[in-house]
């Protein structure tokens, strides 16, 4: 089903050794994109545009003026990042009212490093959903089994990486939208600490929850890409104190808390896979329960809906029919939340952060499955696991929203395969600002697969 895996790291090494060219990489990626058109992973892809970028990269390399190790490597871009050479639609008929002909900061950073901006990927409309089933161009399909969803909202990015079209792609994460499709498609996804990665030029869903992040085929790829995400940006005041990426060592004996209990249920198969991965990793690990999870979930949901409705207020008033009925219903629900309810949600958020950081004792990492079940089938409305019966939408965000509500760095990595051949992934959440340490700890579990 898949071509021989090619990581960003292996592509960069091949370019450095002269065993391939950027033109070769791009032509291969274009061919694979055509072969896997059934995935519906791309919104826009212009072969002339990307081949022009590749020719410029190869000319730099020939002249000895290579810009960075990833000069010439293709990276796909989620369709809510502004890009100067591709339109940005957020996969909606309610088109963005945003600057044309400019790049989001992360895209600009990658372009300055010589990376090839390889088209725009399919996504859940305006990132307001976790299935990737609602899109102006139709749903994305899972490369492992096209009868199953990719998860969302960055479903096209994860599908393109999992199918071997590109080694990496950009996503955005408000309640798991980098980690959810990464897990469903069996690749790696990283959500940085809130305020360490610039949101400038990434169309918002909920500005106090949003974080841009990479999706890739390996942890080494994430390490190569994170420097282009992390750091201060004058265009995003939330990053005013952000530090750039700096490689760090993992703690000698990291303390891992495995989060379980009410509100954190999962299928037996997923639980076994995650526990096995944690035990093989050899870390100090114990089970811990967090009380009142459903109340904290309600707080995350209220903040998300209020901020999304506020951002879309004018368009929702002027052109409500431009949104799909599903997205419009979410936005209308946000309008019904009162100021007092919104303030109460923010108070709960503060309590949740205090509980995680100071109420659980010492820890370096909080561990969870990324998803409570393997990727559901297309059109499945509900999921049952651990005595719970919930909507598919809620099942996808079941474990991921805490990282956004608390602003923690999070990584999703594949750890096993289900009995029906779909990926099972584990999520690790670190302390705020400890993105590099979290990445290093993840190697401890990835190396034992």
DSSP string, 142-209: -TT-TTBB--SSSHHHHHHHHTTS-SEEEEEESSSTTHHHHHHHT-EEEEPPTTTB--TTB--S-TTT
Q: Is 4 a catalytic residue?
A: no
Q: Is 377 a catalytic residue?
A: no
Long-range contacts of 358-364 (CB under 8 A, 24+ apart): 360/257, 360/288, 360/290, 361/257, 362/255, 363/255, 363/256, 363/257, 363/431, 364/251, 364/254, 364/255, 364/256, 364/430, 364/431, 364/434, 364/437, 364/441
Distance between CA atoms of residues 223 and 243, nearest Å: 15
pLDDT (0 to 100) of residue 444 = 92
> For the segment 59-99, what is each residue's pLDDT rounded down to a tens digit?
999 999 999 999 999 999 999 999 999 999 999 999 887 66
CA distances from 338 to 211, 309, 351 (A): 26, 12, 20
Q: Check if the beta carbon of residue 92 is closer than 8 Å to that of residue 327.
A: yes
Confidence band of 447 (pLDDT split at 50, 70, 90): low
Tokens encoding 223: 């390490």
Residue 222 has pLDDT above 60, yes or no: yes
pLDDT (0 to 100) of residue 60 = 98
Catalytic member of 22, 57, 78, 434: 78
Residue 449 has pLDDT above 60, yes or no: no
Mean pLDDT of 256-263: 96
In this structure, the number of other CB atoms found within 10 A of the CB of residue 2 comes to 12
Instruction: Kindly state the helix (H) or strand (E) to which residue 423 belongs, with its residue range.
Output: strand 423-430
Diameter over CA atoms, the chain: 63
Q: Is 153 a catalytic residue?
A: yes
> For the segment 353-366, what is each residue's pLDDT rounded down to a tens digit?
999 999 999 999 99
Q: What is the mean pLDDT of the chain?
A: 96
Confidence band of 251 (pLDDT split at 50, 70, 90): confident
pLDDT (0 to 100) of residue 25 = 98
| DSSP per residue, 33-74 | HHHTGGG--EEE--HHHHHHHHHHHHHHHHHT---STTTT-E
Catalytic member of 177, 198, 267, 425: 177
Distance between CA atoms of residues 14 and 17, nearest Å: 5
Catalytic member of 22, 57, 135, 153: 153
Confidence band of 2 (pLDDT split at 50, 70, 90): very low
Confidence band of 185 (pLDDT split at 50, 70, 90): very high
Residue 258, strand partner residues = 287, 367
Residue 124 has pLDDT above 70, yes or no: yes
Tokens encoding 35: 């072969």
Q: Check if the beta carbon of residue 91 is closer than 8 Å to that of residue 125.
A: yes
pLDDT (0 to 100) of residue 100 = 73
Mean pLDDT of 426-436: 98
């Amino acid at each position: 089903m898949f071509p021989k895996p090619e990581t960003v790291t292996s592509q960069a090494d091949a370019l450095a050794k002269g065993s391939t060219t950027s033109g070769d990489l791009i032509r291969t990626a274009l061919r694979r994109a055509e072969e896997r058109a059934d995935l519906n992973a791309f919104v826009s892809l212009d072969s002339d545009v990307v081949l022009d970028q590749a020719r410029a990269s190869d000319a730099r390399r020939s002249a000895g003026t290579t810009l960075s190790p990833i000069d010439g490597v293709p990276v796909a871009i989620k369709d809510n990042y502004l890009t100067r050479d591709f339109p940005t639609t957020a996969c909606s008929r309610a088109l963005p009212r945003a600057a044309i002909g400019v790049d989001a900061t992360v895209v600009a950073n990658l372009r300055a490093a010589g990376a090839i901006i390889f088209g725009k990927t399919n996504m859940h409309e305006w990132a307001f959903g976790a299935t990737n089933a609602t899109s102006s161009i139709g749903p994305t399909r899972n490369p492992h089994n096209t009868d199953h969803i990719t998860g969302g909202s960055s479903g096209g990015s994860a599908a393109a990486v999992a199918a071997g079209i590109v080694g990496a792609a950009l996503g955005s994460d408000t309640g798991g939208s980098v980690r959810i499709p990464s897990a469903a498609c069996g690749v790696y996804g990283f959500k940085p600490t809130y305020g360490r990665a610039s949101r400038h030029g990434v169309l918002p869903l909920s500005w106090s929850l949003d974080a841009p992040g990479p999706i890739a085929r390996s942890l080494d790829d994430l390490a190569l890409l994170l420097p282009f995400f992390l750091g201060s940006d004058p265009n995003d005041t939330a990053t005013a104190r952000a530090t750039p990426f700096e490689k760090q060592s993992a703690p000698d004996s990291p303390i891992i808390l495995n989060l379980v209990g009410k509100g954190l249920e999962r299928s037996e198969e997923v639980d076994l896979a995650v526990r096995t991965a944690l035990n093989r990793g050899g870390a100090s690990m114990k089970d811990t329960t967090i009380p009142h999870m459903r109340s904290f979930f309600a707080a995350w949901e209220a903040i998300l809906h209020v901020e999304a409705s506020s951002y879309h207020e004018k368009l929702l008033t002027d052109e409500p029919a431009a949104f799909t009925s599903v997205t419009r219903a979410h936005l209308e629900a946000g309008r019904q939340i009162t100021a007092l309810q919104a303030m109460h949600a923010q108070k709960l958020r503060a309590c949740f952060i205090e509980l995680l950081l100071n109420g659980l004792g010492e820890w370096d990492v909080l561990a969870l499955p990324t998803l409570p079940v393997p990727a559901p089938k297309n059109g499945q409305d509900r999921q049952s696991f651990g005595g719970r019966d919930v909507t598919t939408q809620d099942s996808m965000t079941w474990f991921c929203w805490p990282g956004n509500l608390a602003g923690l760095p999070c990584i999703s990595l594949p750890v096993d395969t289900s009995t029906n051949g779909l990926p099972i992934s584990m999520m690790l959440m670190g302390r705020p600002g400890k993105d590099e340490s979290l990445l290093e700890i993840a190697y401890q579990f990835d190396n034992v697969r």
